[in-house]
Amino acid sequence: MAGTDKRKQSLYFPEEMLKEIQEEATRQDRSLSWVVQQAWKIARERIKAFPAVNDVTGDERQDPREE
């Protein structure tokens, strides 16, 4: 893809999850980045279907800790 924006970003995963991703990347002879990008492409529609916090509570007010 020409002109792709390739910015570095730190992501934090639980140790066991990161180990699984690393094992899968090794099995497929791919980078961690590639595996995570493919996982996002596969899962994004499902994740977008999750309700936002305000959708669940129906409460548009500020966080009570901020009041």
Task: Output Rg (C-alpha) for the chain, integer angstroms.
Answer: 17
3-state secondary structure of 15: helix
Is residue 59 in some structural domain?
Answer: no
* Tokens encoding 65: 């800790």
Computed over every residue of the chain, the mean pLDDT equals 86
- Total domain count, the chain: 1
DSSP 23: H
Is residue 38 in some structural domain?
Answer: yes
Is residue 28 in some structural domain?
Answer: yes
Is residue 63 in some structural domain?
Answer: no
Cα–Cα dist 43/30, whole Å: 19
Cα–Cα dist 32/22, whole Å: 6
What's this model's pTM, rounded to 2 decimal places? Answer: 0.68
pLDDT tens across 40-58, in order?
Answer: 999 999 999 999 988 866 5
The residue with tokens 């002109």 is: 3
